[in-house]
Amino acid sequence: MEQYRTRPARYGPRRDRPGSSLPPQAKRGAGGAGGEAAVRRPASASAAPTAGRLPNPRLTGLGSGLFCGLVMFLLGVLCSVLFGASLTAYGVLFVPVCVLTAVWVRRGDLMIAPVVVPIAFAVGLLPMADGDGGTGGRLMGLVTALATQAGWLYGGTLVAGLIVIVRRIRLVHRRRTTAAGPRPPV
């Protein structure tokens, strides 16, 4: 008895070759033993100079939180050692970290950047918080530093939020134009 397919095809019909039942990876062959030569890139494409380009990582939500938190903690340690716990220097260094976090977060996790940035600001203040009375004094120093540096905190969060909103608008616009397809000339 013949068994018919009960579920629809997941990805639609193959378009590579009519009558081909092998996936594209199998057609290439391993080391040229599959019958067809392996697909190779031109030498000029693989040897493109990368010295002049900036890094363009794509961080997940967790990765962007870890990146921002770790960098701000290290900057807090650096500011406490080099600048005598200058909160102004820390605030100035906070804004570029906000920009990098908002630019490097991947498209699917865009809305996480304005959330992790203030948390990272507080994490970075831990080594800089003045406190002589143990844990309570340290906590009071952290709250005081957060209150006095609220301008930098809000400014960096606003910058990250604006970058995320612009990226999100561009993403939605790009999706709509691709979904609409090419329009006929008028």
Which uninterrupted H or E stretch holds 97? helix 87-104
User: How confident is the model over 97-106, as pLDDT tens digits?
Assistant: 999 999 999 9
Average the pLDDT over 45-69 and give the result. 76
Q: How many C-beta atoms surround the C-beta of residue 147 within 10 A?
A: 9
Residue 141: predicted pLDDT: 86
Whole-model pTM?
0.65
* pLDDT over 70 percentage in the chain: 70
Residue 84: predicted pLDDT: 84
Three-class HEC string of 12-27: CCCCCCCCCCCCHHHH
- Short-list 120, 8, 36, CA closest to 71: 120
| Confidence bin at 151 (pLDDT 50/70/90) | very high
Q: Give the amino acid at 56.
A: N
Average the pLDDT over 35-64 and give the result. 64
Distance CA 66, CA 167 (A): 21
| Confidence bin at 34 (pLDDT 50/70/90) | very low
Distances 73 to 79, 80, 81, 176 between C-alpha atoms, Å: 10, 11, 12, 40
Distance CA 27, CA 17 (A): 11
